[in-house]
């Protein structure tokens, strides 16, 4: 991995470099939480794509209800979803919030899939990563996190999904010098210092979400239970939040 000057919002590397440090962070998280087996999807890549849209601005438990409704209605295939009236889709995904907007945007994805790839996800995901990512980002309602979730978890591309949890955790860990580091810079940090391994990116993101939900909480992080405690300067935490 590159050992050249890092990105502007990344701290100078620790002894040994960021690659081994990241590998150690991942090793500890996996040891603590086990492989996270993401993305849970009984119905395959199309369900992952639907979930990636639905999870925007809503807790996953609500997404599960919406997906269960779509499954019961037989709409978890591209063909069935594409053929269904937008009102039917909206009614199914109501538990996921912003349901009219999300239904419209998912229909736009299906229109794109059918007009460009004949409705075939295999054909879509046979294309080069950069081209597919650019096409996804051009769709209404698809930002980098949604696009990368689709690419990694549905398409199997070696892409690290980063998010607000990643920003908070790696700022606290001292890897990022700014609490407002950009999405692209965060992602470049992982891509630069880890091998391009879909399985690793898949599970590393899941581990970060798990630690952030269970231990490295936004308020009152439980540092005494944290597998990363001895690596962490707790940057940005108030004195009162430090154990």
Instruction: Tell me the chain's radius of gyration from C-alpha atoms.
Output: 19
Q: Nearer to ligand SF4 by C-beta: 23 or 41? A: 23
Residue 229 interacts with ligand SF4 (CB under 6 A): yes or no? yes
Residues 12-41 that bind ligand SF4 (CB under 6 A): none
Helix axes 45-54, 99-117, angle to 10 degrees: 140
Residue 234 interacts with ligand SF4 (CB under 6 A): yes or no? yes
Q: Is 176 helix (H, G, I), strand (E, B) or coil?
A: strand
Residues 158-187 that bind ligand SF4 (CB under 6 A): 169, 172-173
Cβ atoms of 194 and 152 within 8 Å: the answer is no
Q: Nearer to ligand SF4 by C-beta: 144 or 221? A: 221
Considering the complex, what minimum distance in angstroms separates the CB of residue 243 from ligand SF4?
A: 8
Query: Residue 102's closest CA among 91, 116, 115, 117?
Result: 91
Exposed/middle/buried for residue 164 (C-beta within 10 Å: 0-12, 13-18, 19+): exposed
Per CB under 6 A, which region of 6-14, 135-143, 181-189, 221-229 contacts ligand SF4?
221-229
Give the residue, chosen from 50, 150, 160, 215, that forms a contact with ligand SF4 under the rule CB under 6 A.
215
Within a 13 Å sphere around the CA of 26, how many CA atoms are in the beta-carbon half? Answer: 20
For ligand SF4, the binding residues (CB under 6 A) are 169, 172-173, 215-216, 221, 223, 226, 228-229, 232, 234, 237
């Amino acid at each position: 991995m590159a050992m050249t000057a890092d990105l502007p919002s990344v701290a100078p590397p620790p002894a040994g470099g960021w690659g081994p440090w990241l590998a150690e962070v991942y090793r500890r998280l996996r040891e603590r939480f086990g492989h996270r087996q993401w993305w849970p999807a009984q119905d395959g890549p199309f369900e992952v794509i639907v979930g990636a849209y639905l999870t925007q601005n809503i807790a996953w438990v609500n997404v599960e209800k919406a997906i269960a409704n779509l499954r019961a209605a037989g709409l978890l295939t591209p063909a069935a979803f594409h053929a269904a009236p937008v009102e039917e889709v909206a009614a199914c995904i109501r538990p996921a919030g912003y349901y009219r907007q999300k239904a419209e945007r998912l229909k736009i994805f299906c229109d794109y899939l059918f007009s460009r790839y004949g409705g075939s996800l295999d054909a879509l995901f046979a294309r080069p990563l950069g081209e597919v990512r650019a096409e996804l980002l051009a769709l209404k309602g698809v930002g980098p996190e949604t696009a990368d979730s689709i690419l990694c978890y549905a398409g199997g591309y070696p892409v690290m999904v980063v998010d607000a949890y990643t920003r908070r955790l790696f700022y606290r860990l001292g890897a990022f010098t700014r609490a407002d580091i950009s999405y692209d810079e965060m992602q470049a940090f992982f891509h630069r210092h880890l091998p391009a391994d879909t399985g690793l990116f898949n599970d590393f993101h899941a581990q970060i979400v798990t630690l952030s939900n269970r231990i490295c909480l936004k308020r009152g992080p439980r540092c005494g239970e944290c597998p990363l405690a001895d690596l962490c300067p707790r940057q940005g935490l108030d004195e009162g939040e430090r154990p």
